[in-house]
Amino acid sequence: MNFLGINAGHGASCALMINGKIELVYQEERFTKIKNFGGYPRKSIENCLKYIEKKKTHIDIAAFVNTNPNLNFYKYPISNYFNVKDYTDFYGDKYYSKLLANQSVKKYFDKLDKDKRNKASISLERKKLDLIKDGDYKDLNNFLKTTLQKQSKNLVKKIIFSDHHTCHAHYAYFSLSRKEIQKNKICVLTIDSQGDGINQTLWLPSKNKKNIININRTNSCDIARIYKLVTLILSMRPDEHEYKVMGMAPYSKGKYTKEIYEKVFKNILKVKNCKIVHKNRPKNLYNYLKQNLEQYRFDNISGAVQMFVEKITANLLKQINSKYKVNCFSISGGVSMNIKANKVLSELSFVKKIYVPPTGTDDSLSIGACYYLSKSNSESLNNIYLGQNLFRNKRSIEEQINLKFKNKKKFLIKKNVSHNLVARLLIKGEIVAIAQGKEEFGARALGNRSIIANPSNNNVIKTINEMIKNRDFWMPFALSIIYEKHKNYIINKKKILSEFMTIGFDTKVNNLQQIKAGTHPYDRTVRPQMLKFNKNKNYYNLINKFYELSGIPAVLNTSLNLHGYPISSDLDDVYKTFKNSGLKYLFLENKYLIIKK
């Protein structure tokens, strides 16, 4: 059977499963060029339908991840254009404070309705969404169903709506290898800010392990919301820049971090009956945090909120282990992106294994919807290179490259370039962009849309930050490392597999200098892509050649994009990124080297 999973909200995406295998996953941000785009993923759906049409088949069931919709935030996908001031108004006096005081918020939405940025940024469905207000559709779900029916032109036979956290959970469980599922009793946790009115669930496998059973769920787990609001209070964009707060946390000073944790965060929530619930949670969380944090420094605030997440999630796992006697966990939802918390959880004495699939944010809900429909009649997510092809038209690859980089005064094109040449560039301290095949799904570049460098050369950090990515100075880069060699550099006593940069690890002091630029600049932890040959042969061979020449089986890796934009998708995107950055070398399709003159 063929299934289509659709997340028509924050992190809009569409996934296609054919006979139990995920064939495609498209993130709408890659088409709109709006990072974390929220709305109806028209282009993503369109590309999945084109694929099905070529196969001369149909979609048996399409599942929207939506059972408890909020119409206002489909009409006004605030994440598409809000700046820090807009978010301050939203969580502060202009919206939430009035909502909590049972005052009318009509004027707020009237203002959004007139905001030119909103009308410019929303999807093509905007006018149709306006009609819902006038009663042309009974509710948002009817609108989504009707829209898909029209778009699919009878290719979709049945449309259903699936629960947000159910999809997170099925993604966390069924994306794992079948060997791991059969070998271990795996507990699934989903934790996020909110989805269909819930923000934490707990699941256990059925006796035959062919399904998972929901044990509990709660709408009182506010850890993601607290982290989001702290991000805003530190003048960064919520639902996007939480990773910057996490990156700043190691710089905090222990004495002050603990003081803030004890005074501000500790008593907001508690763990009870294997759920994170309210303890002394203030009604207006934003105002409480803003008032109580204003006397403290940004780095210590970052450290305190990180400590809060680590301690309360660790307590949650302890209770689950005590009650259900499980020691293997798979985590999804927005909080699963906190690699430092994942590190703490992996180090708990009773934890045998921890699994964190690629990108547990809402982008992955479309995949989860497919797994929800197929359950055990599916394959694990062995391949995450599932997006757009680098070369998309019918011309030959060489012809497309020659046309795109035709200005001979600006670009030199070399053909049949070996890994040996690229590796030697890295050894010399050069920075090389890589673009090949299909783009990787998720927030992490994993070798198909990456910028790589010699991890033993600290000078590359400043170059990438200033000339290419315009990144914050305190933020670490990641590391792609050959799996067979990772134990020489990374402390991993439990043999935890981290293929998608979703778990943090400590590094070994004796070999630190060789990978230093790919670690956190303060605490020297690393979020590795432990790369196996069968997952990305070209990328593996390139790193292996660098290892042969340098003795280092790893490269610094960061995503191929300009600051504030999604990861580059097709050749047009890659060209724009290359042209408008300080990049000098671009390695295309494992064969062509473009050199900027």
DSSP string, 399-462: HHHHHHT--TTTEEEE-S--HHHHHHHHHTT--EEEE-SBPPSSSS--SSEEEEE-TT-THHHH
Cβ-contact 478, 501 below 8 angstroms: yes
The residue ranges of DSSP E strands in 304-392, in sequence order, are: 328-332, 353-355
Cβ-count burial of 349 within 10 angstroms (0-12 exposed, 13-18 middle, 19+ buried)? exposed
* pLDDT for 376: 94
* pLDDT for 73: 66
Which residues make Cβ contacts (< 8 Å) with residue 499, sequence separation at least 6? Answer: 358, 529, 530, 531, 532, 535
Identify the CA nearest to 583 among candidates 569, 593, 572, 571. 593
* Helix, coil or strand: residue 120: helix
d(C-alpha 345, C-alpha 339), whole Å? 10
Chain segment 352-367, per-residue pLDDT in tens: 999 999 999 999 999 9
Tokens of 161: 């709506």
* Helix, coil or strand: residue 271: strand
Q: List C-alpha distances in Å: 91 to 84, 286, 541, 543.
A: 11, 7, 49, 46
Cβ-contact 516, 510 below 8 angstroms: no
Q: Per mean pLDDT, which range of 51-65, 138-152, 257-271, 361-375 is the poorest? A: 138-152
d(C-alpha 498, C-alpha 483), whole Å? 9
Identify the CA nearest to 175 among candidates 430, 457, 558, 502. 502
Residue 469: pLDDT above 90?
no
Distance from chain centroid for Cα 8: 16
Cβ-contact 387, 26 below 8 angstroms: yes
* pLDDT for 134: 46
Residue 122: pLDDT above 70?
no
* Helix, coil or strand: residue 238: coil
373-402 b/e (C-beta count within 10 Å ≥ 16 → b): bbebebbbbebbbbbbebbeeeeeeeebbe
Residue 470: pLDDT above 90?
no
Chain segment 293-312, per-residue pLDDT in tens: 999 999 999 999 999 999 99
Chain segment 405-457, per-residue pLDDT in tens: 999 999 999 999 999 999 999 999 999 999 999 999 999 999 999 999 999 99
* pLDDT for 131: 54
Give the pLDDT band (50/70/90) at residue 106: confident
Average pLDDT (130-146) is: 67
* pLDDT for 142: 85
Residue 128: pLDDT above 90?
no
Chain segment 249-296, per-residue pLDDT in tens: 999 999 999 999 999 999 999 999 999 999 999 999 999 999 999 999
* pLDDT for 136: 45
* pLDDT for 118: 72
Cβ-contact 575, 404 below 8 angstroms: yes
Residue 140: pLDDT above 90?
no
* pLDDT for 121: 52
* pLDDT for 516: 98
Chain segment 192-201, per-residue pLDDT in tens: 999 999 999 9
Chain segment 14-46, per-residue pLDDT in tens: 999 999 999 999 999 999 999 999 888 999 999
Residue 583: pLDDT above 50?
yes
d(C-alpha 437, C-alpha 397), whole Å? 11
* pLDDT for 75: 67
Q: Where in the chain is the domain with CATH 3.90.870.20?
A: 397-596
* pLDDT for 143: 83
* pLDDT for 141: 85
When comparing pLDDT for 584 and 73, which is higher? Answer: 584
Percent of the chain's residues with pLDDT above 70: 95
Tokens of 308: 């809060």
Average pLDDT (97-117) is: 88
Which of these CATH numbers, 3.30.420.40, 3.20.20.450, 3.40.50.300, 3.30.56.10, describes 2-77+122-165? 3.30.420.40
pTM, entire model: 0.96
Q: Where in the chain is the domain with CATH 3.30.420.40?
A: 2-77+122-165, 176-356
Q: List C-alpha distances in Å: 221 to 112, 121, 193, 198.
A: 29, 31, 8, 8
Mean pLDDT of the chain: 94
Residue 206: pLDDT above 70?
yes
* pLDDT for 359: 93
* pLDDT for 9: 87
Residue 132: pLDDT above 70?
no
Tell me the β-bridge partners of 159.
Answer: 62
Tokens of 394: 């019918």
Architecture of domain 397-596: Alpha-Beta Complex (3.90)
Cβ-contact 60, 1 below 8 angstroms: yes
* pLDDT for 120: 57
* pLDDT for 231: 98
Tokens of 294: 């204003």
d(C-alpha 308, C-alpha 266), whole Å? 7
Chain segment 390-407, per-residue pLDDT in tens: 998 889 999 999 999 999
* pLDDT for 27: 98
Q: Is the CATH number of domain 176-356 3.90.950.10?
A: no
Tell me the β-bridge partners of 26.
Answer: 14
Chain segment 490-543, per-residue pLDDT in tens: 999 999 999 999 999 999 999 999 999 999 999 999 999 999 999 999 999 999
Cβ-contact 316, 271 below 8 angstroms: yes
